Structures are given as structure tokens and as C-alpha cells.
Structure 1
Amino acid sequence: MLNEKKLIIAEKPSVANLIASALSAKKVKAKSLHYFENEEYLVTCAQGHLIEFEKPKSKWNLEALPLNGPGNLIPISQTKPRLDLIKKLCKRDDVASIVNACDAAREGELIFNQIMSYLKVSKPSYRAWLQSMTKEEIQKEFLNLKSSESYKGLANAALARSIADWKIGMNGTRAITAWSSKIYNVGFNKQVVGRVKTPTLAMIVNRDKEIDLFTPEKYFQIKATFRINSGEYVGSYIDQNFNNSTLDPETKRVRKADRVFSEENALKIINDCRNKEGIVKEESKERKEYSEALFDLTSLQRESNSRFGFTASTTLKIAQSLYQPISGEGYITYPRTDSRRLPDRYDEEVTKLLKSFNNSSYKKFSQNILDNDLIKNTDKKIFDSNKVSDHFAIIPTPNIPSELKLNDQQRKIYDLIVKRFLAVFYPPMITNETTRDTLIGEHLFRTKGKILLSQGWKEVLDSTTKETIINPIEESEKALCEDIEQLADNTTPKARFTDSTLLRAMETAGNDIDDEEVLQLMKNKGLGTPATRAETIEALIREKYLMRSEDENNKKFILSTARGKQLIFDLDVLEINKLTSANLTGEWELKLKEMENEDYSYERFIDEIEKFRDEIIARAKSTSVDTDEFRKQLDVNCPISGLPVWETFNRYTTEDPENSVRINKVRSGRPISNEEAIELIKSYNGKEGRIGKLSGFVNRFGQYYEAFLILKDNGDIDLDWGQNDEKEKIDFKALPSLGKFEFVDSEVKHDAKFYYFGKKWANKLSKFMLSPYLNSLDEEEQNRESLPEEEAIKIFSGEKTSVLPFKSKRKNAKRPFFKAKVYLDKKFAPKFEIEKLAKKNDEKDKSDKS
């Protein structure tokens, strides 16, 4: 009888290595890949997603909508060998069951279930829910595996999220693209929309619009210097009658009790108080300030952005590398968590963890917590199972890394996590805070003082607290206003979003919430999840809807591009407010969370999504605009006709378009602003106008490029990206054909140097790409192609080439010559899968050294 085994499928190779090590499984070679095996287990892995939904083949027009998919699941070509290995292992007679060891979250559940669905695996399956990547935790989890049925709600939520994103993304993107292409009179104006991306973009566009339209208002602050027996002190004027309860949020933001918006009133207050005595009232009280809660992913990303300037994406990558190092056990627990608490009965584990710091630089603090019995399992700010969902807060593991094992970025993030973990057990910082009010008639001046009594948790962070000492006053003593002045300033708009503030806005669906307890209640109503928010931001930047910039003080921020503003404007014209609504998307996120707990129906959720899909399509089909209506006159005349230039809905032209400039508002996916249109018209020299280079133009393959914007003498506009720089024009019709290829959606032509593909063969790929032969002394060898035709056919078919030799273009490269397989990514850029050095060479090197 066969010895029955469990097949474990991890999400990444690094996790498979850790699990295999913890379970003492040995490596087994399988062609170019490998897996692990012992008497009880086989261990293999995916490489992220191995399966994807088949892309729709229908045309990009409104008549083809709605798309009722998604369609069939198909393998991702680049990772198909891994899928084939999993299939082979699943079919083994001795494999009795499968264990899902993919990341313990929605995405990990989806990755595993899609593999099982595509391979039609019917064997029993179990779930390994790994909180941390230490051998002890891995071994413990594999003794307590649960049936996959226990995670049915999570599986439904993962699938529902994936299908919802497909239905809204695919249909919405095609509907808005078709509408805008027609309205702006351009061939193809791709606009990407999504269930989470679009409301995130809308928040930033609306903030930028508020800033652009903001009108500063002058105000005055009044400072008075008072003389008493013990010396001087300064007080700030406070309006005792100030009440902001009826003000709208924006007015409330700029109107403060210490601001006087009338210079006349400010001067009156000064005249009323100068050289007058005031009655003094003083109140002192102790104030306790507790450490912030443990980190979840979003709060870690916000803190690292504020402290180190790391983007949300960078912080996630660093945290992931600490959770799953390239080799060895993990240093922190699962980072993609939305909880800031530990389970109720986790105090014993915390005690063990603190003891593990004995040989580290954190020993002083961990020992103090243990010696003074500071771990209180009744403290709900630390231990509260009701606020722990799939994973608890991010904390260190007992596997303490030496400083040499971490790079500078890893060290910073690890230090943040450890110090926050230690700080939460420390007592509060205690200060004595004094409020001194000096009243002259009806005018109140306030002075505040602070004295540190106990540093508390601030000691862990090596943080200083600024003390403000005010000189003492005798009982019933009056204070003389010796000097008083007004300080003029202007109100300022809200700050632009940073990674930190944008993450908070996404977490709260755009609502301004500072209270941590209230924030906990909002967690399930945010935009996306902690695991997906960083990628949402990066995707909007890649698609040129957002960009990162910095001000004159080198402070980094995120702002919307002209392309991003145009998309939100178009959605406003279409009146598809739900697509830009942060609150609606937050409600959907809550329903997915309820689905995980089996409190919301999968079918009901998909039905709601499909109704919204149909609403988007209906608006795109029914909304029309008068594209010729003159909206605003530009401050410039047409250099061709001499007539005033006007802005219409979709272009800049005159009352006589046929004999004047005709500047479309969108060109190759990029909006042309009023300012750019005026600059282009003014640059006209009788033959042509030219501005740029401008960035953000996009070709039909989704690739972004820079180009000069040209105004021709017939009034039309054109782009110059260097396409006419070559001395001789290529007659593509005369070139030999390599064939037509569905993967690149075009015929491929070639000459002695290049393969040409895409619309009008605008894309090209060198036959001598990184050629290792160019410096050869043999002339015949020099002309040898590094990418011959038989290999190029594989590339243009969406496959990988055979292993080919190449020469690195980097100076002083460690491997100047390397071997790799080549393939095209989704944007048809060449990518290299570099072959690792043979193990025999490593062993030979070791023997030579010995």
C-alpha cells in the first residue's frame, strides 16, 4: 500500500523553502524546477498568480457591451512550467490531499482556488494559516490544519472581489474609452477605470481642484507680553465667543479662535489692552499620553512615509522581506494585516518573545517590561480578540536578526516595529500642563506651559518632549500688558496628499477621522484593503493619472495629472457618481468582509455589481454633448485666420474651423490643457508651432512616451517623437514577413537589424539585442544574431525563447556574459529570465579555494 502524503502549495518559492526546512523535506529536481519531499509531505509553490481570466476578444465599442464574463481561466504563459509541475504532483497516486499554504489572506485564497479549479483537482484540501515564518510556528500550524471548508467565506469573498473588479474594470474601461474616443474625436482614447482605483483618483483630483481654486484670506494673530513680579510671559489672544459648530468643514478648518479676520477689530483689541492690567486665572493638571497601538500595515506605511519618506509600496516590500527573508526564518509576523491588537490570551507568547531580546540592543527595554511585570492581559489596547480578524498586529518574532543581516531600509522598518511593540507595554508619558488665562476687560489671552514628570514609553523611542516653563505668579497678582502686536498671515489650502495622508484617506473612505477607536469601526469600509492600497496608488501612477512631485522644501507629495483630471471630468459629465464615490466602494468592501464571515451572499453581491456595470454602460450609451458649443474664449487669436480662438467641449478652434487652428483636447490619450494650447498657438512661426517635449502620450500597446506637439500650417496638430529622425524611410511593404501574431496583434516584418511590429510597425526589437558576438575578432561571428528568427517567432507568440547567450550593458557587471530566456511583457518590452550559475561550478570554486 502506498504511503499517503499531503501536497503543500505555497505562494512563493521562498515560503516553500521555509516550509520544507521546517518539515525536514529534501529537495527533488524536476527539469528546470524543483520541489521538496519526505515521508509525509511534498512541498511546491506557485509564483504569485499562475492562472488568469482569458481576455475578451470583442471590439472596443459600446455595441459589444456588456461583457458578461469573466471567461475561462487560462495559464499565464511565463509561469506555465510551475503549473505543469503542480499538476504532475497533484496526480501522483500517493498524494491523498492538498494543503493551501498560500498567503493567509483573500489573494492567497484566490491563487490556490484558481489553480485547483483549472486543474480540476477533486482531492480533499486543507488550509495552513501561517501568522509568522518561524520553524516553530510552521510546525505548530501543520499539526492543526483545518479543512478548506472552514474558509468557504474567505474563498467566496476572494472570488467575488476578483469578479467584481473584472466586471467593473473591463466593462467600465471599455465604455468610458468608447465614449471619450467618440466625443473627443480621436481614434482610441483608452481610459482605465476600476472599483477602487477610480474613487481613489477622484479624492486626489478633488483635493487638487480645491487647492487650485483656493483664495487666501488675510488674518491677524495678536501676541501680548505681560509683566509680573517674577518676570515676563507671552499670551495669545483667544476669542471667547468663538463658535464653529454651525460652520461648514472648510470654513471650520481655516476659522480658529486665535485668528482675527478684521484688521480694524485687531487694532481695537490692541488699543483696548496696551498698558492695561489683566486678571489672571491659572489651572494645572496632570496629563497622561499613551503609546499608539501596535502597527497594522497601513499605520506602518504611514509612519515610515512620515519618518523616512518611503512610499507605501516600498514599505510593503521591505515588510514582506522581513516576513519572508531570502533565506532563513522570518523576523516579523504577517505584515498585510488590518488589525492593531493581539489575541486575548497571547500574554505568554509575548513573555517568551521579550526574553528572546536578551542578546540584542533592545534588552534594556524588554528586561524592564519583564522585571516590572508590565504585561497586562486585561489591557484592551493591546489584547483584544474582538479586534483581531484574520491576522493580529505586526510584531517581531523570536528570530532576532543581527544588524549585518539587514540592509539600511530593513533596519529602519524593523526598528519601528520592535520599538512600537516594546512601547505599548510601557507606562504613559506624564506631564503637568498649565493653562494661564489673562483677562483684560472682555479680551482673553492664553498662555500654556508643560513640564515633563515621567517619560514613560517615550524612553523606548529615545524621544524628547519639549518643555515650556512659565514663570510663577503670586495669588491675586495682576499682569501688566507691556507690549502687544499683531502678526499678519494668510489662510492656506489643505495640503496635497502624501503617501501617508492618502493611505489614511483610503482607510476611512475619504472621511477625516483622527480618533483611533472610531478608525477601528471604519476599517472595513475603506477603499481596498491594507494589502492592495499600495498597489492601487502605484497603478494610478503607472497609468499616468497620478504623479509624485516635491515642493521647494523637498517635501514629497502626490498630485493628479492632466490625464487624471480629464477622466474625473468625463465621469462627471457622464454623471456616473457611483464610480467616483469613496463611500460606496467602502460599503462594498464591508460587504466583502461580511462575506468572509458568511454573513453576506456571494450571489447578492455579484447581482449588485452587475446592476452597477449596466448603469455605467447605459450612461455611456445615452450621454451626448454639444461638442461645437463655444464655452470660453482663449486670450489668443488664430495665427492662420486672425480670428479669436475659443474652447469647445472637445477642441480649441475659431468660428471658422476649416480655415483656422483645430487643436483636439485629447491627443494620443493625453489631454491638451488651455495653457498648452495657447503656448502652441503663440509658438507658430508661419510654418509650424512646436512645444515640448511633453510626457504622457500613450500608444495602442499601452506604452507611454514623450513627444513634441506640432501645429501645422493647415491648422491640424501632430506629434514628433523622433519618428522622422532616421535618414532613410523604411518601405515596410517590401520587407519580408515573419508572420501574423495574435499576441502582439499585428504582422511582424524584419530587415537586417530589426523586427518591426504594432500599428504601422512603430515598435521594433533588435536582432542584435545585448549581442555577445559584436566584439568578436571573427567577422562572421560579429554578424551572428543574438535573437534569430526561430527564437523571435517564440517571443511574438507570447512564449519564452530557448536559453540564449547575452552580454550585459552594465559597466563592471559581476557577470558580463550571461544566459537567459527572453519574453515580452504585457507592454511588449523584452524581459530576461536569467539562468542561474550551474551548481557544479559553485562546488568547483569551493574545492579550488580549499
Structure 2
Amino acid sequence: MRLIIAEKPSLARAIADALPGQSRRSDGAVTVGDTTVTWCLGHLLEQAPPDAYDPALKQWRLDHLPILPNPWRLMPRPKARGQLAVIRRLLKEASSVVHAGDPDREGQLLVQEVLDYLKWRGPVARLLVNDLNRPAVVKALGQLRDNSEFQALYRAAETRSRADWLYGINLTRAWTLTGRQAGHNGVLSVGRVQTPVLGLVVRRDAEIAAFTPRPFHVLWVDLAVEHGNLRAWWQPGEHHPLDDQGRLLQRGPAEALAARLPGSQGTLASLNAKKSRQAAPLPYSLSALQVDAARRYKLSAKAVLDTCQSLYERHKLITYPRSDCRYLPAAHHGPSRQALTNACQGDATLGPWLAGADFSLRSKAFNDAKVSAHHALSPTGTRPDFSRLSATEANVFRLIARNVLAQFYPPLETREVKAEFTILEERFRAQGREILAPGWKPLFTTRDEAPPLPPLREGEPARVQETGVEDRETRPPEPFTDASLIKAMMNIARYVQDPAVKRTLRDSDGLGTEATRAGIIETLLDRGYLVRQQQALRATQIGHALINALPEAVGRAERTALWEQRLTDIAETGSDPSPFLSGLVEDLRGLLGAADAGRMRSALSDARGVAPAAPSAATSKRKPRRASTGKGATAKRGSSKRSTTQSASGKTTGTSSGRRKAGTSKPRSKKTDDA
């Protein structure tokens, strides 16, 4: 019997449907001819907790650190034992195995660690599926490769998992115990991704708190030109008092010029008109959808993820949602007409959009070379019953369908005009935008565009009709919201200075993954490091204190970039991961040496009064989340796709009384992990 082990049930169903013959379902598997297809439920295994290596490590003590497992051990996840037993039974009957994890680093680890744990020693082939469309799966089944070709990818994923455990377990215990010495009761969780995300919010809040508004002044003129009227803005020269962005800092020069301008005659000194064509926005990845849904419907990142899971699993209306890709396979182009026709049936919003689509068009979104482990979110072609969808489900589904529909609309064509006038030997600038062909634009906005400039020709006269001086103030940065924080995590390179690090982060997936970003935000909220104030995400007192007490590098993204460089090298060249892990241990020793109760005490004191307190257990309405068993679990890990439910001590813990001797007792609080 040939056994195919898929990463998740949806992939297993697609593989079984692509096999020739009648299928027969059993508990946890599908059999077709001499092939049985089973599946994982995300990660079936997790890193063992510290006390699995030594019972003494169940107690949290500074003199136990660093904890360095040797050899490393995995253990079954509690909710995955049943499926693990199914795979164990099937392996005893198998003559060969096909590894059908996702074609990425984590997908390679997810299935192979199960085979190693269950001590499979027979042949293993590798099936690479990135499109659940039946012809694509049939093609992939005809192109099996030897799993030995992917051992470097496996070692890189295994190394990442171990490195995150070392980092999170050791630093969480160190700063929790140091916090207790400084008077803080409760776990202070530290992780390679979670903590830099918190650092983003803490630093943004600090910028806002330290911001001092500065007044500046603008002067406008309404001009009569040959074919109409327009408004232009004064461009003061460098001999006037300007800030670094060219804004006028004193009102006097603007007032003096405004007094001279009425009735003055000038000329159009320069005219620059440029036509442009803009293709439709690409179909959504999960993070891109979370950004747009947060802006349009004020949904949290987790609400969007949960809604997508419902549309995918319950209603069967969209493809796999936890995707980081914004492209579709070329084979989807032809069937898109029927899939979108079905998706738009009976909806007053989608129906007119469907009517305007031209399915002979082929956008750049259909590109096999750009498709990664998963393709962009798209409708499956199942006809929706909108009466069975919640308002949020319907809104999110429309967004997903709209972005795929937009691929069958022509480009937006515009004409950008910049005009500079000379009046009383001073420069005045006007600019406008004219829509020549709306293309896909009406699907995305119903707002009226600013009126375009009237027809202009260089050298034509212009007469001043009215003038005005406006007083304005510089504004502080906006606090993070779900949308802007997700976007910052996607584009984390913007927040670092080192050019080499910028390049690495630009080439990587940013902080976290599509599957974990919403969970990172929710974890920071649950642990009391962030709080929502209307739509804004603000760091709490303990969030500020933790970042300010940690070494600066722990709260920044540069470490993720350096890790990704090394892990990519392991995956691509097959280099030995031992030097990376040895270097991490040395780094950890230095970081652990920086744990200082005095610095923590000072940080806690400084945070009081300058940041909101975390919600208390008595007043918080947030419900505790259940542990997820999926590879993309959103609640537990911020450092990778892999999720974990263990605490920093390896156990779920309660509330600390705060009366035990600091440094020798095991603090009891909310679950922590190495993210």
C-alpha cells in the first residue's frame, strides 16, 4: 500500500479526488485503489517542555539558565494524538510513503518530523502541490521527487523551531524572574517576533507622547486662466524661514505677499502633463485582505482570519485563506469565468461588477512563476447563499471576489498635470488628475475624484482673483491600528536603518507569517502588553516597561533578518546548522547577563502614568482562546508558522501570589511560549 500524508484535510481531499478509481473513506483517511491518503492537522508534534528533559526545570530559577536540550525531543500535541495514531497504524501497512506537505520550509518539517518520530525507515517520495485544482494535482502526482532532495529545507525548518524555543523559553524565564525581583507579578513573555512587534507599538507611542506640534502657514491663490479657474499654492523660497519639509514657519511673509496679490497678473511658467496606465490591484493574500478589511469595515486582523476560515471550511466559498501569495496559477484563467459567475449570483453588488468584466483579458496576476506554497485568495466557484452569510462574511467575500474580478477589467488611465505659475516673481504650484478611462477603479471606490485642472498651455496669462493664508500645525504620527500594524509587519524593512538588514527583510516575509500575524496581535492583547482604544492599538504600562527593560536589540526586527539570512543559507546550500545554534547560545548568554532587576524597576516606574494599564482579569471581557493544533495557529506563536501551546515552563499556570522568594519559585500566570 502506498501512503500519502498530506499537510491538511483539504489537500488530502484534493489528492484523493485526483487519483483514478473509486474512493473509500475511513477514520482519518481516504483509500483509492492501492493508495491511502491521510493527513496531519497542522503540526501533530511540538517541542517538549523543559521539565521533559529534567523534572527540576519545572521550577523557574535564574541559575537554571540557559536551558539547552540535548538531545532534542518532540511530543504529541494533546489534540493531535488521535490523528497521530491513525498515521502510526497506516505506516505499519505501507510499503512506501509520499510526503505531501506544503512546498515550503515549514511544510517540509511538518510531515517529515512525524515520519522521523514514528521511525519510518522505508522509501519516501515528495509531492509538491501549490494548486488544489484537479488538473494541477494530477500533474503534480506525475512528477514525484525523492524526499532526500529536500533535507536541507527540513534542517532549516528544524533549526528555526529549536532556535525559537531556546530564545523564547530562556528569555521569558529570565525577564519574568527579574520582573518579580522588581515587584511585578506575572509572566513577562519574550519572543523573536512577538517582542519586536510590541517594540514597534512602544516606539510609536513614545513618538506620539514626545511630539510637540509646530505651527506653519500656507498661502493659496485662486487664479482665472484662459479656460477656467484653479487654485495654486505659494512655494516660498529658501530666504524665508522654512522647516526641513519646506513649510513656512512665520505668518508674516505670507500675509505681506497676500496683501499685494489681489488683481495681480502672472503667467504659466511651466506645464508638465503625463499620462499613466495602472493595472488593477492584485488578488489578496491574507495580510493584504486584513489591511483592507480593517480600513473599510473596522475589522480586527483576527476577525478577518476567523471570517476567512468560516468562508473556507464551513461555506466552501474561497480557497485556502492563510496564503502569503497575491498571484494565481495560469490554469485558473479559463475557469475563472464560471467560478466568478457562480460567486456573483444573486448579489446586488457583485452582479453589476460581473456584467462589466471582460474575460478575454489576462492580467499579470495569472503567473505560475509567482505562485508559492499557496495561491492568492479567490472564490471556489461554489454559489453563495447570502442569506446564510453574516454581514461580515458577506463583506469579506465581496472583497475577495472583487479583487479577482478586477483582473478582467482594463487598466485605469489617467492624466497627471503639474503647473507652475509666476506671479510677482513668486512661484505658485497647482496640480490635478484627470481620469481618461476608469477601468477597474469603480469597483474600488465610489468617491468623486478632485476636479481636474482646466485645459492649460504654457505661457498663458493668469490673474489672481482671491487669496488666503491658512494656519496649520504639524501632526504627530498616527497610533497603530490593526491595519497599519499588519502592514508594518509585512513591510518591516521600512523600520530599520542598516542597508544590508533592509535588503534581507525586504526579501523575506517580514515579521511573522500570514497565518500568525493576527495571532501575534491577539497574543499581545491577551497578555496585557497592548490595549485597544477604539481602533487604535496602544502599548500598556507593562508593554512599555518590558521593551525598555530589555536589551534594545531584543525589541527590534534586525535579529529576524539575521536569522533569516542564516536559515536561508542552510536551506539553499545545505550548510551545517550547528554553528548557527552555537552562536545563538552564546548570544543568549550575553542577553541573559543583561537581565537586571534595577533596570526593570526603573522601567516599571517610568511607564506609570505615561501609558494605559492593562485590563484586569476582573474587567476584561476577552475570552481565553483555546489552543490550536494547526500549523498556522494564530494564538500561540509569533515567530513562525509553527504553533505551540506550552508555557515557558512547559505547563499551563495560574496566578502568582507574589510572596515566594524571587529567583527560586515558579511564577504562575498566563501561558507563554517562545514567540
TM-score by length of 2: 0.79
Residue 278 (structure 1) aligns with = 266
Residues 695, 706 of structure 1: 8 Å contact kept:
no
1:176 to 2:175 alignment: yes
Matches of 2:168 and 2:460, distance apart in 1 = 71
Matches of 1:27 and 1:327, distance apart in 2 = 22
Partner of 1:445, secondary structure, is strand
> How far 1:495 moved relative to its partner?
0.8
Residue 467 (structure 2) aligns with = 484
Aligned pairs (5 A) from 1:788-807 = none
> How far 1:519 moved relative to its partner?
9.4
CA 1:276–1:355: 2 relative to 1, 3 Å: same
Residue 589 (structure 2) aligns with = 614
Residues 437, 447 of structure 1: 8 Å contact kept:
yes
1:193 to 184, 190, 195: 190
Matches of 1:35 and 1:226, distance apart in 2 = 75
Matches of 2:260 and 2:37, distance apart in 1 = 83
Matches of 2:452 and 2:7, distance apart in 1 = 57
Summarize deviations over 1:75-96 as a string: whole Å, max 9, x none: 233432332232222222xx11
> How far 1:496 moved relative to its partner?
1.0
Aligned pairs (5 A) from 1:514-533 = 522-524=506-508, 526-533=510-517
CA 1:427–1:599: 2 relative to 1, 3 Å: farther
Residue 547 (structure 1) aligns with = 531
Residues 509, 525 of structure 1: 8 Å contact kept:
no
CA 1:337–1:609: 2 relative to 1, 3 Å: farther
AA of the residue aligned to 1:313: K
Aligned pairs (5 A) from 1:97-108 = 97-108=96-107
1:238 to 2:235 alignment: yes
Residues 525, 583 of structure 1: 8 Å contact kept:
no
Residue 726 (structure 1) aligns with = none
Residues 493, 506 of structure 2: 8 Å contact kept:
no
Partner of 2:333, secondary structure, is helix
Partner of 2:515, secondary structure, is helix
Residues 196, 555 of structure 2: 8 Å contact kept:
yes
1:450 to 2:451 alignment: no
Matches of 1:84 and 1:384, distance apart in 2 = 37
Partner of 1:597, secondary structure, is helix
AA of the residue aligned to 2:515: A
> How far 1:291 moved relative to its partner?
2.2
CA 1:597–1:297: 2 relative to 1, 3 Å: farther
2:362 to 360, 369, 375: 375
Partner of 2:38, secondary structure, is strand
CA 1:477–1:507: 2 relative to 1, 3 Å: closer
Residue 125 (structure 1) aligns with = 124
Residue 493 (structure 1) aligns with = 476
1:560 to 517, 539, 559: 539
Q: Larger Rg: 1 or 2? A: 1
Matches of 1:138 and 1:130, distance apart in 2 = 6
1:40 to 34, 44, 47: 34
AA of the residue aligned to 1:155: Y
> How far 1:301 moved relative to its partner?
2.2
Matches of 2:670 and 2:457, distance apart in 1 = 77
Residue 716 (structure 1) aligns with = none
> How far 1:219 moved relative to its partner?
1.1
Residue 673 (structure 1) aligns with = 608
1:203 to 2:189 alignment: no
Matches of 2:299 and 2:168, distance apart in 1 = 29
> How far 1:36 moved relative to its partner?
3.1
2:579 to 590, 604, 607: 604
Q: Which runs of 5+ in 1 are unaligned?
A: 551-555, 628-647, 651-664, 677-691, 698-703, 708-741, 747-756, 763-824, 829-850
AA of the residue aligned to 1:160: T
CA 1:320–1:102: 2 relative to 1, 3 Å: farther
Q: Which runs of 5+ in 2 are unaligned?
A: 52-56, 345-349, 497-501, 621-648, 660-668
CA 1:352–1:519: 2 relative to 1, 3 Å: farther
Q: Which has the higher helix share?
A: 2
Residue 560 (structure 2) aligns with = 585
CA 1:389–1:21: 2 relative to 1, 3 Å: closer
- Number of residue pairs matched? 615
> How far 1:108 moved relative to its partner?
3.7
Residues 40, 83 of structure 2: 8 Å contact kept:
yes
Summarize deviations over 1:297-322 as a string: whole Å, max 9, x none: 32222222222222223333333444
Residue 86 (structure 2) aligns with = 85
Aligned pairs (5 A) from 1:328-347 = 331-332=318-319, 334-342=320-328, 346=330
> How far 1:54 moved relative to its partner?
2.1
Summarize deviations over 1:417-441 as a string: whole Å, max 9, x none: 3332343454321223333322223
> How far 1:358 moved relative to its partner?
4.8
Matches of 1:317 and 1:265, distance apart in 2 = 56
Matches of 2:202 and 2:656, distance apart in 1 = 33
CA 1:358–1:485: 2 relative to 1, 3 Å: closer
Matches of 1:615 and 1:596, distance apart in 2 = 27
> How far 1:597 moved relative to its partner?
3.2
Residue 24 (structure 2) aligns with = 26
Residue 4 (structure 2) aligns with = 8
Residue 292 (structure 1) aligns with = 281
Residue 109 (structure 2) aligns with = 110
Summarize deviations over 1:744-776 as a string: whole Å, max 9, x none: 899xxxxxxxxxx9878x9xxxxxxxxxxxxxx
Matches of 2:3 and 2:113, distance apart in 1 = 16
Residues 449, 469 of structure 1: 8 Å contact kept:
yes
Residues 528, 614 of structure 2: 8 Å contact kept:
no
Matches of 2:526 and 2:251, distance apart in 1 = 49
Matches of 1:325 and 1:595, distance apart in 2 = 35
AA of the residue aligned to 1:112: V
Matches of 1:355 and 1:148, distance apart in 2 = 37
TM-score by length of 1: 0.64
Residues 354, 367 of structure 1: 8 Å contact kept:
no
Q: Using the TM superposition, name which of 397-406 and 442-451 deviates more.
A: 397-406
Summarize deviations over 1:309-343 as a string: whole Å, max 9, x none: 22223333333444x42476x732x4434333456
AA of the residue aligned to 1:649: S
> How far 1:208 moved relative to its partner?
0.4
Aligned pairs (5 A) from 1:389-404 = 389-397=372-380, 401=384, 403=386
> How far 1:158 moved relative to its partner?
2.0
Residue 73 (structure 2) aligns with = 72
Partner of 1:531, secondary structure, is coil
AA of the residue aligned to 1:41: T
Residues 433, 450 of structure 1: 8 Å contact kept:
yes
Matches of 1:475 and 1:171, distance apart in 2 = 69
Residue 649 (structure 1) aligns with = 602
Matches of 1:489 and 1:175, distance apart in 2 = 48
> How far 1:487 moved relative to its partner?
1.0
Aligned pairs (5 A) from 1:407-446 = 407-424=390-407, 426-446=409-429
AA of the residue aligned to 1:7: L
